[in-house]
Amino acid sequence: MHPIDNQQVKALDRAHVFHSWSAQGALDPLVIKSGAGCRLWDYDGREYLDFSSQLVNTNIGHQHPRVIAAIKAQADELTTIAPAHANWMRGRAAEKILERAPAGFAKVFFTNAGADANENAIRMARAVTGRDKILSAYRSYHGGTGSAIAATGDFRRVPNEYARGHVHFFNPWLYRSEFWAGNEEEECQRALHHLRRVIECEGPASIAGLLLETIPGTAGVLVPPPGYLAGVRALADEFGLVLIFDEVMAGFGRTGAWLALDHFDVVPDLITFAKGVNSGYVPAGGVIVNQRIAHHFDDEMFYGGLTYSGHPLAMAAICATLETMQEEGIVDNARQIGETVLSPGLARLAQRHAHVGEVRGLGVFHAIELVEDRDSRTPLAAAKVGKLKQAMLERGLLAFVVANRIHVVPPCIVTAGEAEQGLAIIDEALGTLG
């Protein structure tokens, strides 16, 4: 067989692969052959520093040998089994996940990804309450399937709003406040008042649950102000709503904690997860279910299920990932890199470049808000963002760019040197904007 090069791979892709969230005709996908740690290579040998973690999911980095070995060992024993059966690896994975959840959580329902995790959390909330509506934020992303995309707040929901019973509200973000707030305290109080009014006007007796990303990710790494999540918990309690925290992107080390909710001392009723739980080595997600809701289904049928729920290869990857993250101090590394390299480094970029309106984040979960100028805060034009993305790629940095933002989201294993290298490339690329 002749050596494969980038052009052959791209030609094969364009001939046969239908891509997500894209008009197909203009696509020019980046070609990737292999990876290790925080590095990726194409078929022509060019190296990229992965500052995207792909879709913010390769928390343990690419090709971690311990996780690969666990998948291989499980494949030798049992590649697949129906979810109705009990399997040792499935039970161990659930046990390890529950060890990282707050007290009071009892069971794990496994799915294939984050979207169907949110689908099933919504289904549980509706079943437990006997109500229909789900409240979620405009600045959010919860997945691409029926109810998950309707719960999503960003523009991609609009052509896909086929599921019923979804209502949106504005979550807090002081930099682009919807509430004319002058500080974080005002933003928090007014956002909570707004949410209360939405609940009251929609009718509490019609609302099953509140679905929130603990820290909205795709919407821009919007760390909630102090007191906001506690206030949401209080509203959910007052009106009898199931509170669901979506930890699909923010969970399992990304923020420098095992779960992002650990930063806020607030406990929801259901927690959805995917991505970082095994870095996507084998697709997996799920819902962590508290004791009250788990007990509800002791005598009531749960009308939900998936052929590959708790797939043995995915479960082996989860067990190995969580064990390795613990033993290698990967969560603590994410915290330290965030505190000592990314936060101060991004602050310096904000001082150096007029197109940086705001930088924000925790751990290895940060974003750079790009603006035309700091006074107007007008989002940077798409053409300029495209130029910036290309400038980073030409310099060997694979960045996660959304709208007018660069999301600074390297794997949780990133070293200080790699983080500094990535920031230096972003610095140089920002300089091309003038």
Q: What is the pLDDT of residues 259-286, one digit of tens each?
A: 999 999 999 999 999 999 999 999 999 9
pLDDT of residue 19: 96
User: What band does 3 get if pLDDT is binned at 50, 70 and 90?
Assistant: confident
Q: Any residues with CB less than 8 A from the CB of 396 and at least 6 apart, and which?
A: 46, 47, 48, 49, 425
Residue 130 has pLDDT above 80, yes or no: yes
Residue 422 has pLDDT above 70, yes or no: yes
pLDDT of residue 265: 96
Compute and round to an integer the Cα radius of gyration of the chain: 22
pLDDT, average across residues 189-194: 98
* Residue that wins the pLDDT comparison between 411 and 162: 411
Say if CB 135 and CB 199 are below 8 A apart: yes
Look at strands 207-213 and 133-137 and give their pairing. parallel
Q: How far is CA 9 from CA 13, 18, 28, 89, 379, in A?
A: 6, 14, 11, 36, 35
406 φ, ψ (degrees, to nearest 5): -105, 120
Residue 415 has pLDDT above 90, yes or no: yes
pLDDT of residue 2: 64
Q: Please give the structure tokens belonging to residue 384.
A: 């300029």
Give the angle subtended at the CA of 349 by the CAs of 343 and 350, to the nearest 5°. 90
Which SS3 state, helix, strand or coil, does residue 109 take? strand
pLDDT of residue 408: 98
Handedness of CA 269, 179, 366, 340 (dihedral sign): negative
pLDDT, average across residues 404-409: 98
CA 98/CA 114 separation, integer angstroms: 17
For residue range 22-76, list pLDDT tens digits in order. Answer: 999 999 999 999 999 999 999 999 999 999 999 999 999 999 999 999 999 999 9
User: What band does 1 get if pLDDT is binned at 50, 70 and 90?
Assistant: low
pLDDT of residue 161: 87
Say if CB 11 and CB 357 are below 8 A apart: no
Give the relative orientation of helices 65-77 and 312-327 as an angle to the nearest 10 degrees.
150
For residue range 148-175, list pLDDT tens digits in order. Answer: 999 999 989 988 888 889 999 999 999 9
pLDDT of residue 114: 98
Q: Where are the alpha helices (DSSP H) in 146-290?
A: 146-151, 184-202, 228-239
Q: Any residues with CB less than 8 A from the CB of 200 and at least 6 apart, and which?
A: none
Which SS3 state, helix, strand or coil, does residue 238 take? helix
Exposure on the CB side of residue 187, measured as CA atoms within 13 A: 18
pLDDT of residue 162: 87
For residue range 71-126, list pLDDT tens digits in order. Answer: 999 999 999 999 999 999 999 999 999 999 999 999 999 999 999 999 999 999 99
- List for the chain the helix, strand, coil content (%; round to 5): 45, 15, 40
99 φ, ψ (degrees, to nearest 5): -60, -25
Strand partners, 405: 369, 402
Q: Any residues with CB less than 8 A from the CB of 13 and at least 6 apart, and which?
A: 29, 31
Give pTM, 2 decimals: 0.97
User: What band does 434 get if pLDDT is binned at 50, 70 and 90?
Assistant: confident
